[in-house]
Amino acid sequence: MPEVTLAARSPLATVSAYAAPGISIFEDGNFTLTQVAGFGRGFEKPLAEAVGKLPLKVGIANSTDAFTVMRIAPQQFWCMGDHASAGLPSECLVTPLSSSRCRIKIEGEKARILLSRCAAVDFDERSFKPGHFVMTGIHHTPVLIHCIEAHAFHLYAMRTFALGVWEWLVDAAGGLNHE
């Protein structure tokens, strides 16, 4: 039997990107997500050496060329970047989550309004700035929303709910364009 290579497939494989004046929504896949946890402060120093400066509080993401690191709980981080789990210090408890989330990019001048139609979070530019992230819910499912530019966001939806979240977002965007 020839060597088998398993192909990756997104839960959003059946949808097309959405674009309308002031808003575009598309899947921004191909990312590596690793949850790293530990105990006390002991694991944070070597972790920082591996992935870069760690954010001090939940809600802030630090990005370098190689990694984006988010503190998602007092002793838990999400690390995004190629081969994020490689070379992590032994003190770290590593859980791969790349398949568990679907990353959707929302951008455009109406992106903040769209998000405010979906989640009970203050998405005002003065409150939610590039580098900020929030863990909240959309359509009753948990999501993490990361502001990557003034009018661009990454939304991490749970894989098994991703299609529903996508449809919810696109439906909300459609409404914006009818007002």
C-alpha–C-alpha distance, residues 162 and 156, integer Å: 9
Residues 52-82: b if buried by 16+ CB within 10 A, e if exposed: bebbeeeeebbbeeebbbbbbeeeebbbbbe
Residues 43-62 touching another protein, rule: CB under 8 A, are none
Out of 98, 130, 132, 134, point to the residue binding another protein (CB under 8 A). 98
- Nearest to another protein of 64, 96 (CB atom): 96
Please report the sign of the dihedral spanned by the C-alpha atoms of residue 151, residue 152, residue 158, residue 160: positive
Residue 16 contacts another protein per CB under 8 A: no
What minimum distance in Å lies between the beta carbon of 94 and another protein?
Answer: 8
Residue 39 contacts another protein per CB under 8 A: yes
Which residues have CB under 8 Å from 93's CB, separation 6+? 36, 37, 38
Which stretches of the chain bind another protein, using CB under 8 A? 1, 4-11, 13-14, 35, 37, 39, 75-76, 93, 95-101, 113, 116-117, 119-122, 124, 126-127, 139-141, 158-161, 163-165, 167-168, 171-172, 175, 178-179
